[in-house]
Amino acid sequence: MSQEVKVPTLGESVTEATIGEWLKQPGEAVAVDEPIASLETDKVAVEVPSPIAGVMGEHKVAVGDTVEVGAVIAIVEEGSAGAAPAKPAAAAPASSSDNGTLEDTVPAQAKIHDPDAAQTLSPAVRRAVLEHGVDPTQIKGTGKDGRLTKEDVVAAAQAKTASPAPAAATPTPAAAAPVGSRNEERVKMTRMRQTIAKRLKGAQDTAALLTTFNDCDMSAVIEAREKYKDVFAKKHDIKLGFMSFFAKAACLALKDIPSVNAQIDGDEIVYFDYVDISVAVSAPNGLVVPVVRDADKKGFAQIEKDIADFGKRAKDGSLTMEDMKGGTFTISNGGVFGGLMSTPIINPPQSAVLGLHRIEDRPVVRNGEIVIRPMMYIALSYDHRLIDGREAVTALKTIKEAIEDPTRMLIDL
């Protein structure tokens, strides 16, 4: 007896998705509720579970196809793994601009999926394996359930290149690479990347974007973090980071300047008496912004736990639509990638976003003397249709003052 596998409900206003990856191939055994496919939606990747235990049957659609909610995408046959013949996994097709060169120049083990392995390579990972010529069976995966990610393959290739190769007994002259050889590759944008592109361009087309800057002396926060990090970690079982300080400082500013926490809806302005902070997190398929809800009512520890949980789930692809829903203000930390200064783009329909950057020692004047302090540039991009320059500058100055004197966050100044 067979069971159809249908596209599940994906969330409010989401009616379709793209087949991102088949996690089970025809003939492979599947357990009930075991993920068999990954769907890419506008915001997150959603795994489709098997409705029964049995054997993976026919794939009704291919990777890259767009499917609607309720559509049949596969068949699962009841029974044991031996009840259905396994189909050989097809090699990922080379791009039209590759001219077949990848398949001809990589080791044989990179082309064959180990039948004893507990995972199936996704198209992107298989592509990276072929390109870098590494053995996927020798790489430890960091993705969900230990699956390989493209980043794992690239890291393994870099480690292989860094390791000195053993000297050959009889050196063989290498064939000279064709002079001026240049390659191109065309890869279809994922649904998430398409949505990111549309939303960011839409923000530029609709909002009157402007950015104001300030710099922030991080000495007090660094001192407080260093002084209490061990006690904090022991009590709350989470590290004390910088993001919780900026989240709480932002809550002070948003309470004082309500328009920075507001949104335009048609010809109306919507003001919120709560602060839901969207935190920009880097995921394998792009930037996602899960929401720390009621940040103004949470303590440092709970904010740190929420952010750490989002980061972990973004990496393994388990964030949900509900995690992304809403948000009244966004914090984006480009400093983790070494960014010195930027003009972040607002996350519609929000009206403002705070950009954080790297901390570096710089000379500043204090009490008439030049001293070295750990400084950070901070930026507030805002929709000038709703937020006046005075309000934006005041909000950013409030954040700066709270970071430079964290006591303000305790006594609500």
Task: Tell me: do 268 and 134 sit in the same domain.
Answer: no
- What is the average pLDDT across 116-129? 59
Instruction: Answer whether residue 173 is part of any domain.
Output: no
Does residue 35 register a pLDDT over 50? yes
User: Is 52 inside a domain boundary?
Assistant: yes
Q: What is the reported pLDDT for 337? A: 86
Tell me what pLDDT residue 11 has: 67
Report whether pLDDT(378) > 90: yes
- Say which residue, 53 or 218, is predicted with more confidence: 218
The mean per-residue pLDDT over the stretch 66-80 comes to 84
Would residue 189 count as lying in a domain?
no
Among residues 33, 114, 294, 384, the one annotated as catalytic is 384
Q: Are residues 292 and 230 in the same domain?
A: yes
The amino acid at 123:
P
* Same domain flag for 337 and 387: yes
Task: Please indicate, yes or no, whether residues 354 and 213 belong to a single structural domain of this protein.
Answer: yes
CA dihedral (316, 321, 325, 330) in degrees, to 10, reads 20
Q: Is residue 176 part of a domain?
A: no
Average pLDDT, stretch 189-200?
A: 77
pLDDT number for residue 96: 39
Identify whether 58 is part of a domain.
Answer: yes
Q: Are 19 and 61 in contact (CB under 8 A)?
A: yes
Q: Which residues contact 382 (CB under 8 A, 6 or more apart)?
A: 209, 210, 211, 212, 260, 346, 351, 352, 353, 392
Same-domain status, 157 and 217: no
Q: What is the mean pLDDT of residues 159-172?
A: 59
Which CATH number characterizes residue 119's domain?
2.40.50.100
Residue of 247 and 167 predicted with greater confidence: 247
Tell me the per-residue pLDDT of 3-14, one tens digit each, with 9 for 90 and over.
888 888 776 667
How much is the average pLDDT of 160-175? Answer: 57
Q: What is the pLDDT of residue 277?
A: 96
- 293-349 confidence digits (pLDDT tens): 999 999 999 999 999 999 888 888 788 888 888 899 999 998 888 889 999 999 889
236 a catalytic residue: no
Read off the pTM.
0.63
Q: Residue 413: what pLDDT?
A: 63
Average pLDDT, the chain: 81
C-beta of residue 355 within 8 angstroms of C-beta of residue 343 = yes
Res. 89 pLDDT band, cuts 50 70 90: very low
Classify residue 170: in a domain, yes or no.
no
pLDDT, mean of residues 161-167: 57
402 and 284 inside one domain: yes
One domain for residues 315 and 206: yes
Residue 42: closest CA among 368, 364, 285, 293: 285
Tokens of residue 96, six digits: 């039209």
Domain boundary among the residues 141, 161, 181 is at 161
Is residue 220 domain-shared with residue 261, that is, in the same domain? yes
Task: Yes or no: say if 36 and 22 are a contact pair by the CB < 8 Å rule.
Answer: yes
Q: Indicate if 278 and 360 belong to the same structural domain.
A: yes
Q: Specify whether 388 is catalytic.
A: yes
List the CATH number of the domain containing 225: 3.30.559.10
pLDDT score recorded for residue 90: 42
- Which residue among the candidates 361, 388, 405, 412 is catalytic per the annotation? 388
- End position of a domain, from candidates 138, 161, 184: 161
In a shared domain, residues 145 and 200: no
Domain that holds residue 236: 194-411
Cα separation of 351 and 341, whole Å?
20
- Report how far residue 238's alpha carbon sits from residue 234's, in angstroms, rounded to the nearest whole number: 8
* Domain count within the chain: 2
The pLDDT-based confidence of 140 (bands split at 50, 70, 90) is confident
Residues 83 and 227 in one domain: no
- CA gyration radius, the chain: 26
Q: What is the pLDDT of residue 95?
A: 40
Do residues 343 and 222 share a domain?
yes
- Residue 174 within any structural domain of the chain: no
In a domain, 154, yes or no: yes
Cα–Cα distance measured from residue 18 to residue 48, given in angstroms and rounded to the nearest whole number = 12
Give the residue-averaged pLDDT of 235-250. 94
- DSSP helix/strand/coil, 154: helix
Q: Which residue has the higher pLDDT, 208 or 321?
A: 208
